[in-house]
Chain A
Amino acid sequence: MVFVIFLFLLFHSNGAFCRNCRTCGVEVDCAFATGLYLYHTDETVAGGANVMIEICRQVLDDVSRILAHQGKKLPNSISFSFDNSGENKNKFMICFQSHLVLADKFLDISVRFELSNNYLHMHFEIIFPNLRLFS
């Protein structure tokens, strides 16, 4: 199972009636649960590690629910691919992932922080030019 988590910002505006919205897109590659997952937050929800951990938790819940609907379980190994930013690369996120292992949810977790914007010649960086148009 591979999670690819990437962030993009929407509707950054100083208008009086505009609300800053943020969308986190997660690409999941796991059998029946393969697809695009979108999670939205706005300015009423604080950012930082809490949001990213919550999104990871919700992704795991959603994937396990979809797999359970097909009579399947979550696999033993999981691979996260994060953007190389402070929100994802912090002690609490690693603590959450270690907690998953301690709780016997997964035997093996590999984490990659390799989604540096505009530095990788892979498909992730292609997303960002389109999404910059919104900001």
Chain B
Amino acid sequence: MGHTHNHLDQEFSVLSRPIFKAEFIASPDALLKLYSTAHKDVRPLINRQIHAVADYTQYYAPFVHGKLKLVNNIIPLILHIRRHTLWGSTSMGDHQSVGYARFSVRHV
């Protein structure tokens, strides 16, 4: 674990170094600065603080089936979403494409 030396391992070990060296990180902006300067050659393309988040759950709540339970094994580990050619709505199925279940998304 952590010793395979692939690219992600190397990238994030570099990110951790300045954190351990720092005595005190005063603000989230300082953390962003640490991340942006940790890599000398390969730096993150985007390094951004998210200050506000929209309430997507309320926005999508009218379009979600109330009785649909998406817990445990109901959602497959691999699924596919695409526009259904016959009904014009999106459909969701597992990776084996057996028995597509209609996904209850209404047209806006």
Q: Footprint of B on A, CB under 8 Å? A: 10-11, 19, 21, 23, 25, 27-28, 33, 35-42, 44-46, 48-51, 53-55, 58-59, 62, 66, 84, 89-92, 94-99, 101-102, 107-114, 118, 123-127, 129-131, 133-134
Asked whether, in the complex, the Cβ of A53 is within 8 Å of the Cβ of B56, the reply is yes
Q: In the docked arrangement, what's the CA distance between A126 and B44, Å?
A: 19
- Set of chain A residues within 8 Å of B12, measured between Cβ atoms: 25, 127, 130-131
Asked whether, in the complex, the Cβ of B103 is within 8 Å of the Cβ of A113, the reply is no
Asked whether, in the complex, the Cβ of B8 is within 8 Å of the Cβ of A126, the reply is yes
Given the known inter-chain contacts A89-B75, A123-B8, A133-B16, please indicate yes or no for A99 contacting B48, CB distance below 8 A. no
- Set of chain B residues within 8 Å of A126, measured between Cβ atoms: 1-2, 4, 6, 8-9
Q: In the docked arrangement, what's the CA distance between A23 and B81, Å?
A: 28
B residues contacting the other copy or chain, number (CB 8 A)? 54
- Set of chain B residues within 8 Å of A50, measured between Cβ atoms: 53-57
CB of B30 to closest CB in A, whole Å? 10
Count of CB-CB pairs between chains A and B under 8 Å: 170
CB of A20 to closest CB in B, whole Å? 10
Q: In the docked arrangement, what's the CA distance between A27 and B42, Å?
A: 13
Task: Give the nearest-CB partner of B90 in chain A.
Answer: A98
CB of B10 to closest CB in A, whole Å? 10
Asked whether, in the complex, the Cβ of A54 is within 8 Å of the Cβ of B56, the reply is yes
Asked whether, in the complex, the Cβ of B68 is within 8 Å of the Cβ of A37, the reply is no
Task: Give the nearest-CB partner of B51 in chain A.
Answer: A45
Q: In the docked arrangement, what's the CA distance between A101 and B42, Å?
A: 33
Q: Which 9 A-B pairs have the closest CB atoms?
A: A35-B45, A37-B46, A95-B60, A98-B90, A109-B81, A53-B56, A54-B53, A129-B2, A98-B105
- Set of chain B residues within 8 Å of A125, measured between Cβ atoms: 1
Asked whether, in the complex, the Cβ of B2 is within 8 Å of the Cβ of A101, the reply is no
- Set of chain A residues within 8 Å of B8, measured between Cβ atoms: 27, 123-124, 126-127
Task: Give the nearest-CB partner of B75 in chain A.
Answer: A89
CB of A60 to closest CB in B, whole Å? 12
- Set of chain A residues within 8 Å of B47, measured between Cβ atoms: 37-38, 40
Given the known inter-chain contacts A91-B68, A108-B80, A134-B19, please indicate yes or no for A40 contacting B28, CB distance below 8 A. yes
